[in-house]
Amino acid sequence: MPRGQAEHRARGYIIAALLLTGLWYLASSMLDSPELPSPLTVLYAFIAGIRADLGFHILISAFRVLYGIALAGSFAVPLGLLCYNNRIDKLIAPVIYLLYPIPHIVLLPLIILLFGIGNLSKIVLIAIIVFFQILVTTRDAARNLSTNYIYSLLSLGATPKDVYRHVILPACLPKILTAMRISVGTSIAVLFFVESFATQEGLGYMIMYAWSKMDYPALYAAIVAMALLGLCLYLILECVEKRLCAWVYLQ
Amino acid sequence: MIYPDGTEALHDVNFAINSGASCSIIGPSGCGKTTLLFILAGILKPSEGRVQLDAQPREVALILQDYGLFPWKTIYENVDLGLRLRGISRSERRGIVLSLLDKLGLRNFAYHYPKQLSGGMQQRVAFARALALKPRILLMDEPLSSLDALTRETLQNFLLRLWKDNGMTMILVTHSIEEAVFLGKEIIVLSPRPGHVVKIIENLNAGDENYRTREDFFTKCREVRQNIEQGAI
Ligand SMILES: Nc1ncnc2c1ncn2[C@@H]1O[C@H](COP(=O)(O)OP(=O)(O)OP(=O)(O)O)[C@@H](O)[C@H]1O
Ligand SMILES: [Mg+2]
């Protein structure tokens, strides 16, 4: 990205952040209640939190989300790409579309039964939910691929394996990475859910803990941390996308 | 040739082309020209009949109607790909690719993506990619049809020189009567879908850059046009 454009974007982010903080400040002074502390109070709580163990909880949460997305991607991407093949698609597509609309979060009891109540079951639940988002997008991208690219590669003497490597994967990669980026939002929501019980680590735990103690500044500090975590992951994935798919972003 | 959905694209197409000849195939839109080239290139299996080539499959190169470049690969990578798939060493490939890019005036664009190039330049990349494979048979699907008239004539001259210099067999599908006459020593006229051969016209005067402006050129064009019109009835 040209430098001017990056500066332009950064300025946009700063203005938006200031605007939201302003609204928050207005709302908190109008409500004048401990349930919505002012941004400044939360900032102090955030700094105090970082001095204590907030950083550790952020890292744990980041680890769970990233692991979940990576796990989901490593299954969903190959499976979705294989759907380029008509025969495989006929097999897989009905299964996907039957399972996709189920709110997978209800699988929680089953997952705890299978994977215990530790980190693994939290990661698996995030992975399952994100898996379907990435799978459906990848499959659609693979199905809509222009056959001309395939013919073009075959005319160069390619094997089926070459077709996946040189055409199907690179052609679908922008869509796959976009799906992953969007899945950050979903996985943070699921993260909160899975961290709100049976753990003493992570931002979800911090939120529930602070809430139970009615420590509202700490509660909002943890919420802000969660928002920042989501934003960071989103921006990282966007960077990866711009790097790997530079060809999409040409003027 | 009948597609799986029942569309009959070609019907009873029969012809032979001498090794080293240049041949134009012309016919109305949708008559099965692209299908025919895919069959010749071995990409599609005909539902009936067969193709006999005096060359290995790897000695056949195909240039697609919309250039067939990969937008996710740079110009260099696009030209390199066919060689890479053939397992040629990186250093040897590099020599071939760079010299071809030089020859086609694309050296400065090696690390650009196809999207950043004009239509004429993309077309030259497609030529470079096909030529990198040193084909004995070069199949082309309307390679120049989306270019402006001047670029088009320049590249027609380029193709003509290429054919004369390399002695390869050239089969060119085109919509344009003038192009068919300028480049093909033989012109195969196809009927509307399902395409079959209306006539094979000899065009022995082709092969000269000045042919375009000569009287016999126009006579030939008229003959081709009459045959296309006859085929359409
Ligand atoms: N994969 C396919 N399945 C079914 N029918 C097809 C397929 N590809 C092409 N056809 C049909 O076969 C016929 C011939 O198509 P083809 O692309 O070979 O024509 P063409 O002569 O190259 O046309 P144009 O001049 O527009 O490029 C058309 O009627 C087309 O709709
Ligand atoms: Mg065609």
The pLDDT score that the predictor gives to residue A134 is: 95
Evaluate if residue A2 carries a pLDDT over 70: no
Domains of chain B: 1-55+136-233 (3.40.50.300), 69-134 (no CATH)
Interchain CB distance below 8 Å, A250 and B115: yes
Question: Which residues are within 5 Å of ligand 2 (an ion), measured at CB?
Answer: B 34
**Amino acid B149: pLDDT:** 84
- Measured between CA atoms, the residue of chain A closest to residue B71 is A247
Cα gap B73→B1, rounded to integer Å: 33
Q: Among candidates B49, B214, B41, which has minimal Cα distance to B135?
A: B41
pLDDT at A117: 86
Kindly report the pTM of this predicted structure: 0.86
For ligand 1, atom 20: residue with the closest CA: B30
- pLDDT tens-digit profile of A48-102? 999 999 999 999 999 999 999 999 999 999 999 999 999 999 999 999 989 988 8
Query: Among A147, A175, A18, A154, which residue's Cα sits nearest to residue B57?
Result: A154
Residue written as token pair 């250039």? B67
Low-confidence ranges of chain B (pLDDT < 70): none
DSSP 8-state code for residue B30: T
Mean predicted lDDT score pLDDT of chain A: 92
Tens-place pLDDT, residues A169-202:
999 999 999 999 999 999 999 999 999 888 899 9
Q: Judge contact between A187 and A69, C-beta under 8 A.
A: yes
pLDDT in tens, A135-146: 999 999 999 999
pLDDT for B147 equals 82
pLDDT band, very low/low/confident/very high, at A1 (cuts 50, 70, 90): low
Specify the residue for token string 């420590």: A215
B210/chain A closest Cα distance in angstroms: 33
Ligand 1 contacts (CB < 6 A) are B 3, 5, 7, 9, 29-35, 65, 193
Q: Indicate which ligand has the atom closest to the C-alpha of B7.
A: 1
Contacts of A245 in chain B (CB under 8 A): 72
Strands B169-174 and B22-26: parallel
Sign of CA dihedral A118, A124, A129, A134: positive
Centre of ligand 2 to C-alpha B100, Å, is 27
Confidence of residue A227 (pLDDT cuts 50, 70, 90): very high
Burial B38-69 (b: 16+ CB within 10 A, else e): bbbbebbebeeeeeebeeeeebbbbbbbebbb
Average pLDDT of the segment spanning A6-12: 86
The ligand 1 atom at the shortest distance from the C-alpha of residue B173 is: 22
Largest alpha-carbon pair distance within chain A?
A: 72
Nearest atom in ligand 1 to the alpha carbon of residue B37 is 18
Would you place residue A3 in the very low, low, confident or very high pLDDT band (cuts 50, 70, 90)? Answer: low
Q: Give me the pLDDT at residue A183, please.
A: 93
CA distance A241 to A246: 8
What's the CA gap between B213 and B201, in Å, rounded?
20
Report pLDDT for B106: 92
Q: Please name the member of B41, B71, B116 whose beta carbon is closest to the beta carbon of A155.
A: B41
Q: CATH code for A51-250?
A: 1.10.3720.10
